[in-house]
Amino acid sequence: MKLSRIALAVTLLPLAAQAEQSNAYQDSLALPPLVVTSGRYTEPLQQATAATTVFTRKDIERLQVRSVAELLERVPGVSVSRTGGAGSQTGLFMRGTSTAQTLVLVDGQRIAAASSGTSSLEFLSPEQIERVEVVRGARSALYGSDAIGGVVQIFTRQGSGDGLKPYVRLGAGSNQTFERSLGLSGGDAQTRFNLGAALDETQGIDATRDNFGANGDDDAYRNQSLSLNLSHRFNDDLKIGFSALDQRGQAEFEDIFSTSLPTTDFQLSSLSSFIDANLGEAWNSRLEIGHSEDKRDTGNDQPQASADSFYSFNTYRDSASWVNTLALSDHHQVLLGADWYEDRLHSDTDFVEDSRWNRAAFIQHRYNAEHFSTELGLRHDKNQQFGSKNTWNAALTVPLNADNDLILSYSEGFRAPTFNDLYFPDFCFGGFCFPSANPDLKPETSKSYEAQWRSRYSETGALELSLYRIDLQDAIVLDQNFIPQNVQTARINGFEAALKQELFGWQGNLALSLIDPRDRDTDHTLARRAKRTLSLDLDRQFGEFAVGTSWRAVSGRYDDADNNTELSGYGLFSLRGKWQASQEVALDLKLTNLFDKDYAEATYSTANGRFGYNTEGRTALFAVTWTPQL
């Protein structure tokens, strides 16, 4: 895709409407949102030292996204790969790092599988999400393992606190897709709650391009989800809360080696509760406890399937954290905290070890002054398997003037080996056994250097630029005997730009990323990392009508470590519209991949050759939302 087409679209904007300004958009720039993920305490987005992107519930509804991956593709530096349509395995590559090197949280709870180390983003329903905060860059000094590429934190839907508000949404679209959701939110100044349920179903698409075995069938997907969020403020100094999310269903996928019809029955859930208290004028303390589960039971839909064709990997995780924010003076602030979690793996595969714990303590000091600000943090992790690990972060913020900031930062990250890496049982055949795991593996580590420039250059525009370098050490890869080893070193150079601009009544959001992710030993490009990505969203309100368009451009990339299999670049164009027919009824229509672009984000191999997984072509989804007034 040529960027000149995007330039042409931007040039034609003034012809689309009379000159006017969006007051709501100006307010969003004048009042930046509060975030908690970057520094593990509440702070204005502009003050966060890490590059951070925020999506609110209004953004999710405006963009009419159908998956978390579709939302995250709008983040600078994020590349996504899917192995089919809805519910298919989804890989997230942030700033050129691997899927397992990005930490994913739901209401503060880790949701990654202990076996593979990856998070099941494909099973998270946008209908249950209030907001998403995406922090780019290593944050292991605050979060520990997995936070090399960054942190994605998802917050479940919350009550507004101004009375009861029921909502019902019904949607239907291409590939026999049906979406149904309903909920009730409400509360008052002290108590807020939201209870929501959703059922998403689709016949899906044929994920494969060959006709080997049973590969010609569509891969259906069904997801039923339930969320609850409840909080109560006793007074100005004490607040408690509870949240729960449960997603379960079934996803069909292709068996590229035989004639079977495999399915995965999944359950992804999290529970979280907290007590937040002001213990003095300068001391805020927050205690959280939680539990998460990732269950996958994979089998064969054919009645004659043998017991050997069924297998399960279920992760159970308990956790607790205690975070204290101390305002020592007008200029000095200290963050003190402790984390604990324990992973337990239940599987029909007999792992050598099936549990391990991690304990950690961290401290971070922040100094704020008129001419500069600093941030310095240290975390110490002690893990039952690999011992101790220290990680640091540091940042210097220099306000160039009232509207421009320069931020220089250094951060470290690490990722603990997974249960598959460490404890997977030996493979035995014909009386001989061969190792499949390596219990002597060390954690993967990273060092990141970054320079950011943030500018609020006008009342209707804001620009953020980031230039960074990531050095990876001891990355875990399989050797020629398929045994994991700490052998790979890599360096990633990158540039990111995020632009928000209101022009003639149109809201524009542009995200650009240029990266060069290299294996330092072979000089090959790391697999499935797109070197160039661009996302452009344009939206405008016309009274009761709203219209929008999106353009996503992704460069070519390699699908293997040896750089022998190349995937072509692509550009996708989408349109969306909304009509607020009455105070209670709204109608939505979205057309995705309008030009029916044929593209692939991953490949697979059979005896007949190597093929790219199919992705969804042109699709349409129509939805009705009813919010009755009580």
List pLDDT tens digits, range 120-131.
999 999 999 999
How many whole angstroms separate alpha carbon 503 and alpha carbon 509? 11
pLDDT at res. 479: 86
Determine whether 626 is exposed, middle or buried from the number of CB atoms within 10 Å of its CB (0-12, 13-18, 19+).
middle
In the beta sheet, which residues pair with residue 14?
Answer: none
63-100 burial, b at 16+ Cβ within 10 Å, e below that, comes to bbbbbbbbbbbbbbbbbbbbbbbbbbbbbbbbbbbbbb
pLDDT at res. 31: 52
pLDDT at res. 18: 34
| pTM, full prediction | 0.92
List pLDDT tens digits, range 163-176.
899 999 999 999 99
DSSP state of 525: B
How many whole angstroms separate alpha carbon 578 and alpha carbon 541? 9
For 405, other C-beta atoms within 10 Å of its C-beta total: 20
pLDDT at res. 160: 82
Q: Which CATH number fits domain 3-626: 3.30.450.40, 2.40.170.20, 3.40.50.2300, 2.30.30.240?
A: 2.40.170.20
Whether 103 contacts 109, CB under 8 Å: no
List pLDDT tens digits, range 195-218.
999 999 999 999 888 776 666 788
Question: For the chain, how are helix, strand and coil distributed in percent, rounded to 5?
Answer: 10, 55, 35
Q: Which residues of the chain are under the pLDDT cut of 50?
A: 1-30, 304-308
Tokens of 463: 């620009």
List pLDDT tens digits, range 553-601.
999 999 999 999 999 999 999 999 999 999 999 999 999 999 999 999 9
Whether 266 contacts 296, CB under 8 Å: yes
Give the E-state strand segments of 116-164 in sequence order.
129-136, 150-156
pLDDT at res. 300: 73
Strands 150-156 and 102-106 come out as parallel
Q: Mind giving me the DSSP string for 297-350?
A: EEEESSTT--GGG-EEEEEEEEEEEEEEEEE-SSSEEEEEEEEEEEEEEEESS-
